[in-house]
Amino acid sequence: MKFLFNSQPKSGLQSRFEQFKTRIELTQGQKEKIQSSHKHLREVHLQPLHYVMKSFLTGSYKRNTMIRPPGDVDAFVVLKQVDL
């Protein structure tokens, strides 16, 4: 007789943890808003600046550990060396 992975019924504790996890995970809408905001930041505010090489998301959002409600999103901006 073969047993498939996770074929056994979930324990009460496991079930409650999954419900809790579902309540604190970002919704798809929240993820899309974060992505849209970062895209807007890059295209409207950073791209026109000649001294910005690149930017990218970092922190809990990037590591997929951000919980609801999202408070902030960390962005890393790499600058070119500029002679003053």
Nearest-angstrom CA–CA distance, 24 and 19 = 9
Binned at pLDDT 50, 70 and 90, residue 49 comes out as very high
Binned at pLDDT 50, 70 and 90, residue 52 comes out as very high
User: What value does the mean pLDDT of the chain take?
Assistant: 88
Least Cα distance to 25 among 58, 61, 57 occurs for: 61
* Spans of all domains in the chain: 27-79
Beta strands in 1-84 (DSSP E): 52-58, 74-79
Nearest-angstrom CA–CA distance, 30 and 35 = 9
Whether the upstream peptide bond of residue 9 has omega within 30° of 0, thus cis, is no
Structure tokens at 44: 């409207």
